[in-house]
A = this chain, B = another copy of it.
Amino acid sequence: LAVEDVGRLNEYLDPMHSADIADLLEQVSAPERQQILSLVPGQIDGEVLSELDEGIREEVIATLAPEALAEAVRDLDTDDVVDLVEFLGEDRQEAILGALDAPDRVAVQMALSYPEYSAGRLMQREFVVAPGDWTVGQAIDFLRVAEDLPEQFYHVILVDPAMRPVAYVTLGRLLASRRDVRLGSITEETFRTIAVDLPEKDVAYAFNQYHLISAPVVDDSGRLVGVITIDDAMIVLEEEAEEDILRLAGVSDESSISDGVADTVRSRLPWLMVNLATAIVASMVISLFEASLAELVALAVLMPIIASMGGNAGTQSLTVAVRALATKDLTRSNLMRVIRREGAVGLVHGLVFAVVMSAIELVWFGNAALAGVIAMAMVINLFIAGLSGILVPVTLDRLKLDPALASGTFVTTVTDVVGFFAFLGLATLVLL
């Protein structure tokens, strides 16, 4: 990327989609980013800001002149403005809100009054409604003269006199029907409303489960307050999966590939600290058997295998459980069956690897009693790994804790402790 003169840079950026400009800003180095911003601030419009990762976005907002920023946000839909300002500091938030027209400002402030990560934060307040007794012709005539239609809309929402949505008509049906047809006769069966305080992950679930394109959002009294469209739900769905992936690996879900060293350490060190604590617990179990280890050094060579197999089997089981909980595929009606299955799978794995591993031990060390010990320890640890892989996340979920965040630590601690204790304990009993 040669940042030589304004003209060539504009020529390069002009045909690019705002999402690609945002990716470019994220992927260049910080000095290059500053250079681009100072040369062609006009390229950074509201759309580009919306697409940026949070960390980079704050950096860019801090660089832009107040007028450029005001200009940038004025063209955005209110839901995008909310997304832009909700995690900014108070003065920066007020500077942006001040740049908006009064109605938009009120809309954004109202949205910010809803809980974080709720439908109220996600919805746009631009929507198209019609009384249920209108005809197709009336609706089309209304749309033709309406001034401020949303940039994207997929349904005309039918409301009662109290502004409660009762049904909707797709634009396709509207276009395909004669002018004298009543809207009430061409509504969709898929209609469902979303409560304004529903958590956004449940909104994403509803869109995914019921193949919704857009859905009206209603307040406590059932009145229409906004609309959520599938593109917003798709973003939430991706963020939720991303969050689970990162949390399962012990990385803070606010981390990004464009973070610097300090932010990256901040997003990973806490989990490594927890892991150190659990690793020390496992080592304390080992230290109980120092005498046995001194006597038979083969125990030290083989014990990591038992722990490693347990850790991996437990991780398999818990990952499946965490995702099934997230996608609501694990419920009361199949929980007992899944628990029984994980126990049975753990036993099968245990028996398979007991045979394999005791054969390997015989070839390697030729100690028949030790082969028996490693076989027993393998069965015990893989059985416990399977069970804890399902029981730990389910318990955390019941306690309203995120199973993706903490299950890994608990399960590997269990499999390390059980693995070392079973192997070294049995060895001490049988061999020494």
Give me the interface of A with B, judged by CB distance under 8 Å: 1, 17, 19-20, 23-24, 26-29, 140, 143-144, 146, 149-150, 152-154, 170-172, 174-178, 207-211, 213, 230-231, 233-235, 237-238, 241-242, 244-246, 248-251, 255-261, 264-265, 268-269, 271-272, 275-276, 279-280, 282-283, 286-287, 290, 293-294, 297-305, 307-309, 312-313, 315-316, 318-320, 323-324, 328-331, 333-334, 337-338, 341, 344-345, 348-349, 352-353, 356-357, 360, 416
Known contacts A324-B257, A329-B257; decide if A250 and B309 are in contact (CB<8 Å).
Answer: no
Q: Is the pair B304, A334 in contact by a Cβ cutoff of 8 Å?
A: no
Majority-rule SS of A interface residues = helix
Q: Which of A276, A299, A312 has the most CB of B within 10 A?
A: A312
Across the interface, do B144 and A260 meet the contact criterion of CB distance under 8 Å?
A: no
Q: How far is the CA of A98 from the CA of B318 in the complex (A)?
A: 43
**Is B249's CB under 8 angstroms from A316's CB?**
yes
User: Assuming A213-B231, A316-B251, is B175 touching A242 (CB within 8 A)?
Assistant: no
Q: Which residues of B contact A238 (CB under 8 A)?
A: 208, 237, 241
Q: A172-B149, A172-B152, A250-B312 are in contact. Are A269 and B352 (CB under 8 A)?
A: yes
* Closest-CB distance, A256 to chain B (whole angstroms): 8
Give A300 to B250 CA distance when docked, in angstroms.
26
Given that A172-B149, A333-B28, A353-B272 are contacting pairs, would A234 and B245 also be in contact in the complex, using a CB cutoff of 8 Å? no
Chain B proximity of A235: nearest CB distance (Å):
8
A172 to B264, CA, bound (A): 44
Contacts of A349 in B (CB 8 A): 265, 268-269, 272
Instruction: List the 6 shortest-distance A-B pairs measured between CB atoms, nearest first.
Output: A241-B241, A249-B319, A171-B171, A300-B300, A257-B324, A27-B334
Q: Which residues of chain B are within 8 angstroms of A330 by Cβ–Cβ distance?
A: 257
Shortest Cβ distance from A45 into chain B, in angstroms?
Answer: 13
From B20, B175, B320, A255 is in contact (CB under 8 Å) with B320
Name the B residues within 8 Å of A279 (CB-CB).
304-305, 308-309
CB < 8 Å neighbour of A245 from B150, B178, B245, B300: B245
Chain B positions within 8 Å of A319 at CB level:
245-246, 248-249, 251
CB neighbours of A261 from chain B (8 A): 341, 344-345, 348
Q: A345: which of B153, B264, B303, B329 is its contact (CB, 8 Å)?
A: B264
Contacts of A299 in B (CB 8 A): 300
Residues of the B chain whose Cβ atoms lie less than 8 Å from the Cβ of A315: 249-250
Known: A152-B170, A312-B275. A304 touches B307 (CB 8 A): yes
In the assembled complex, which residues on chain B have CB atoms less than 8 Å from the CB atom of A140? 175
Given A172-B152, A334-B258, A349-B269, are A178 and B250 neighbors across the interface (CB < 8 Å)? no
Find out whether the CB atom of B265 lies under 8 angstroms from the CB atom of A283: no
Q: Which of B146, B177, B251, B344 contacts A144 (CB 8 A)?
A: B177
Q: How far is the CB of A135 from chain B (nearest CB, A)?
A: 14
27 contacts between A and B (CB under 8 A): A17-B209, A17-B210, A144-B177, A154-B154, A207-B234, A208-B235, A233-B234, A234-B234, A234-B237, A245-B245, A245-B323, A249-B316, A251-B319, A251-B320, A257-B324, A261-B341, A261-B345, A265-B349, A272-B312, A272-B316, A272-B353, A275-B308, A283-B302, A286-B301, A290-B300, A290-B301, A294-B297
CA separation between A19 and B249, bound complex, in Å?
A: 31
* Given the contacts A210-B17, A279-B308, A333 and B1 also touching, CB distance less than 8 Å: yes
